[in-house]
C-alpha cells in the first residue's frame, strides 16, 4: 500500500496529493481562461474556422507553461521547504560510491580523488564502473592504481567488455553482483562530491521518517565555469533548481530523479525493471519507484558539483540526447498506480520539448494565416494592428502577460545584488542564444527515427574553445531560417514581425554569439558574473 506520509512544508497543511491537485487545478483554470479570452477575440467564419481552431489550440498548449510559471511565481515566496530530518549514524551501512565512466580522458583522477577524500566514511568503497573502449583500459587502470595507493582496500575497478544498456545496465549489473551494499551514491564522470555530502545524505536516509524515500537527490552546482556560456549554464542550473525543484518538493512532497548525485537504496533501485533500449532512465526510476510506494526527494540543503558544457555547440549536442531520452518516457504518463505528482513530472519533462515544436509550428501557422498568401485566414476584431495581432484588449493583454511571465518569473528568487546580476545575464543570453531551441528542437525530434540510439559523453575540458568556421557550419541553418523569416515578415506580413522578433534575433545572431560565448571569461569579469 502506498505511503502517504507528507514531508513537512510549513504553510501547506494538505497532503501531497491534495496540494498537487490544487496546484494543477489552478494552472488548468488559468489556461482555460486565457484560451477563452483569445478565442473570443477571433471573428469566426466558415473559411477561417480550421485555421482559427488550430491557432487557438496551439496558444492553449503553450499558455499551459505560462500558467504554470505564473502560479509557481505567486506561490514561490511562501514555499519554505523544511529540510528532511537526519539521524545520528552509529553503525555505517555498507555504501558504494559508483562512477560509471565511458571513454573519459580529462580530469578523471582529480574528480574521483577529490570526491573520495572528503567522503571516505567507514564501510564505504568507491567503484569505477567502466564501459570504455579497450584503448582506454590501461589509462583507467593507471588511475585506479594511483587511487589504490592513496586509499588501499577502498578503490575498485570493473570493466564490461560489452556495454549493454549503457549506464543503467552497468549499474544494474553491479548491483546484481554486489548485493552487500545497502546504499549507492551515483556520480557521473563529470561529477565531484564535496566533503561531508555523503554523510549528510546517509543521516537523512537512516532517519525513521524517511523509510519510504528511495532516492535522496542533491542540489547540483556547476564547477569550472570558465567560459561565458558555462557561466550562463551555471546561473541557469542554479535558478532552475531553486525555482522548480524546491517548489516541486514542497508542493508535491517529491521530485524527479536526476540520475546522478543521488544516494539510492540499493535494494529498491535493483528491484526496478527497466525496458530495454532506454537512452535515459531518470524518469523511469522516478515513476517505477513511485509505483512501488517509494519517493524521490530533493535535498536542497545538500550540494554537489558537476561540470557544464563550455560552448553552445556542446549544449546543442546534449540537448539532442536529452530530447531523445526524455521523450522515451511518455508511456510513464499513463502508468497505473502512480501518484498524480509523478505522473505530472513525467508529462512535464516531455512537454518542454514538445512545446518547442508546437511554438515553432504555431508561429508558422500565424505567419501563413496573416499573410497575403493565405488571404487573412484568421480574423480578429481589428481596430489597429499591434504586436502581430490587434488592439483587441483580450488578445493584447494575453500576449503581454505571457511575455512578461516567461521573461520575468524568476524575479521572485532575487534576494541579493548577485541574484540580480545573474538574472540579467541569463535573460540576455537566453534571449539571444537559447531561443534557437525553438528552431532546432523540432529538427532534433524529427530526426530521432534516423539516429542510432546512443549516448556520447560530454566533452570534459572546461577550457575547450571553438573556431568561427565550425560554429557557422553547425548553426547556419538557424541563421538562414532567421533571415528567411525576417524577409517573410517584412514583405508579406509586416505587422507580424514584432511577434516573431525575439526568435528572429536569436537565430540571426546565433553564430557570432555562440562563438563569442565560447571564449574564456577574463579575470577582471569573474568577480562580476
Whether 20 is covered by a domain: the verdict is yes
Q: Which three cell numbers stand for residue 189?
A: 564522470
Whether 516 is covered by a domain: the verdict is yes
Mark which of 271, 306, 341 sits at the end of a domain.
306
Rounded CA-CA distance 218/345 in Å is 18
**Do 52 and 129 fall within a single domain?**
no
Rounded CA-CA distance 91/315 in Å is 43
Per-residue pLDDT, 106 = 80
**Do 300 and 446 fall within a single domain?**
no
Rounded CA-CA distance 130/73 in Å is 43
Whether 343 is covered by a domain: the verdict is no
Mark which of 243, 276, 306 sits at the end of a domain.
306
Q: Which three cell numbers stand for residue 90?
A: 552509529
**Do 363 and 489 fall within a single domain?**
yes
Cell numbers 529498491 label which residue? Answer: 268
Structural domain boundaries, residue 40 = 16-78+350-526
Per-residue pLDDT, 10 = 46
Following DSSP, what letter does each residue of 168-227 receive, concatenated? HHHHHHHHHH-TT-SEEEE--TT-B--TTHHHHHHHHHTSGGGTTEEEEEEEEEEE---B
Whether 511 is covered by a domain: the verdict is yes
pTM over 0.75: yes
Cell numbers 520575468 label which residue? Answer: 408
Whether 295 is covered by a domain: the verdict is yes
**Do 357 and 434 fall within a single domain?**
yes
Whether 332 is covered by a domain: the verdict is no
- 14 alpha carbon, distance to own chain's centre: 28
- 513 alpha carbon, distance to own chain's centre: 23
**Do 229 and 280 fall within a single domain?**
yes
Whether 288 is covered by a domain: the verdict is yes
Whether 341 is covered by a domain: the verdict is no
Rounded CA-CA distance 152/112 in Å is 15
Cell numbers 504518463 label which residue? Answer: 333
Mark which of 306, 334, 366 sits at the end of a domain.
306
**Do 301 and 224 fall within a single domain?**
yes
**Do 410 and 508 fall within a single domain?**
yes
For residue 105, give the CATH number of its domain: 3.90.550.10
**Do 146 and 185 fall within a single domain?**
yes
**Do 296 and 423 fall within a single domain?**
no
**Do 298 and 368 fall within a single domain?**
no
Nearest to 57, CA basis, from 72, 35, 42, 77: 35
**Do 40 and 113 fall within a single domain?**
no
Q: 439 with 478: CB under 8 angstroms?
A: yes
pLDDT tens track of the chain, all 529 residues?
Answer: 344 444 444 455 678 899 999 999 999 999 999 999 888 877 777 777 887 888 899 999 999 999 999 999 999 988 877 789 999 888 999 999 999 999 987 889 999 999 999 999 999 999 999 999 999 999 999 999 999 999 999 999 999 988 888 899 999 999 999 999 999 999 999 999 999 999 999 999 999 999 999 999 999 999 988 889 999 999 999 999 999 999 999 999 999 999 999 999 999 999 999 888 888 889 999 999 999 999 999 999 999 999 888 899 888 888 888 888 889 899 999 999 999 999 999 999 999 999 999 998 888 887 776 654 444 555 555 443 444 444 556 777 888 898 899 999 999 999 999 999 999 999 988 888 888 888 888 888 887 766 665 555 555 555 556 788 889 999 999 999 999 988 887 877 666 666 677 888 899 999 999 999 988 888 777 666 6
Number of structural domains found in the chain: 2
**Do 213 and 264 fall within a single domain?**
yes
Amino acid at each position: 500500500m502506498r505511503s502517504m506520509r507528507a514531508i513537512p512544508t510549513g504553510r501547506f497543511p494538505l497532503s501531497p496529493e491534495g496540494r498537487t491537485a490544487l496546484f494543477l487545478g489552478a494552472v488548468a483554470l488559468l489556461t482555460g481562461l486565457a484560451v477563452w479570452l483569445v478565442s473570443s477575440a477571433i471573428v469566426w467564419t466558415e473559411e477561417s474556422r480550421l485555421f482559427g481552431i488550430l491557432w487557438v489550440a496551439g496558444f492553449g498548449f503553450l499558455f499551459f507553461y505560462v500558467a504554470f510559471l505564473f502560479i509557481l511565481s505567486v506561490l514561490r515566496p511562501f514555499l519554505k521547504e523544511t529540510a528532511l530530518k537526519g539521524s545520528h549514524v552509529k553503525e555505517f551501512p555498507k555504501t558504494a560510491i559508483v562512477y560509471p565512466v565511458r571513454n573519459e580522458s580529462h580530469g578523471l583522477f582529480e574528480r574521483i580523488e577529490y570526491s573520495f577524500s572528503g567522503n571516505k566514511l567507514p564501510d564505504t568503497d568507491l567503484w569505477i564502473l567502466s564501459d570504455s573502449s579497450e584503448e582506454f583500459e590501461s589509462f583507467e587502470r593507471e588511475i585506479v592504481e594511483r587511487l589504490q595507493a592513496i586509499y588501499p582496500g577502498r578503490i575498485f575497478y570493473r570493466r564490461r567488455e560489452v556495454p549493454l544498456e549503457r549506464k543503467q545496465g552497468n549499474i544494474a549489473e553491479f548491483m546484481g553482483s554486489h548485493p552487500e551494499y545497502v546504499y549507492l551514491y551515483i556520480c557521473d564522470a563529470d561529477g565531484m562530491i564535496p566533503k561531508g555530502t555523503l554523510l549528510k545524505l546517509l543521516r537523512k536516509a537512516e532517519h525513521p521518517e524517511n523509510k519510504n524515500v528511495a532516492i535522496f537527490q542533491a542540489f547540483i552546482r556547476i564547477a569550472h565555469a570558465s567560459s561565458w556560456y558555462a557561466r550562463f549554464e551555471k546561473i541557469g542550473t542554479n535558478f532552475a533548481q531553486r525555482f522548480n525543484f524546491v517548489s516541486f518538493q514542497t508542493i508535491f512532497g517529491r521530485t524527479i530523479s536526476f540520475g546522478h548525485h543521488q544516494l539510492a537504496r540499493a535494494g529498491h533501485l535493483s528491484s526496478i525493471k527497466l525496458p530495454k533500449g532506454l537512452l535515459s532512465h531518470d524518469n523511469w526510476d522516478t515513476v517505477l519507484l513511485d509505483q512501488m510506494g517509494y519517493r524521490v526527494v530533493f535535498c536542497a540543503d545538500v550540494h554537489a558539483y558537476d561540470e557544464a558544457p563550455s560552448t553552445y555547440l556542446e549544449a546543442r549536442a546534449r540537448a539532442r540526447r536529452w530530447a531523445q531520452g526524455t521523450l522515451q518516457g511518455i508511456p510513464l504518463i499513463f502508468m497505473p498506480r502512480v501518484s498524480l505528482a509523478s505522473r505530472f513530472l513525467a508529462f512535464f519533462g516531455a512537454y518542454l520539448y514538445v512545446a518547442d515544436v508546437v511554438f515553432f509550428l504555431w508561429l508558422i501557422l500565424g505567419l501563413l494565416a496573416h499573410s497575403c498568401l493565405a488571404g487573412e485566414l484568421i480574423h480578429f476584431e481589428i481596430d489597429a494592428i499591434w504586436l502581430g495581432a490587434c488592439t483587441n484588449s483580450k488578445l493584447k493583454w494575453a500576449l503581454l502577460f505571457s511575455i512578461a511571465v516567461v521573461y520575468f518569473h524568476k524575479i521572485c528568487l532575487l534576494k541579493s545584488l548577485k541574484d540580480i546580476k545573474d538574472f540579467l545575464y541569463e535573460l540576455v543570453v537566453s534571449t539571444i542564444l537559447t531561443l534557437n531551441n525553438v528552431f532546432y528542437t523540432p529538427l532534433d525530434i524529427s530526426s530521432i527515427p534516423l539516429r542510432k540510439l546512443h549516448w556520447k559523453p560530454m566533452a570534459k575540458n572546461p577550457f575547450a574553445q571553438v573556431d568561427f568556421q565550425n560554429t557557422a557550419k553547425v548553426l547556419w541553418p538557424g541563421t538562414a531560417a532567421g533571415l528567411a523569416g525576417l524577409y517573410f515578415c517584412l514583405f508579406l506580413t509586416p505587422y507580424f514581425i514584432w511577434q516573431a522578433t525575439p526568435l528572429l534575433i536569436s537565430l540571426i545572431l546565433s553564430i557570432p554569439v555562440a562563438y563569442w560565448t565560447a571564449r574564456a571569461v577574463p579575470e577582471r569579469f569573474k568577480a562580476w558574473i
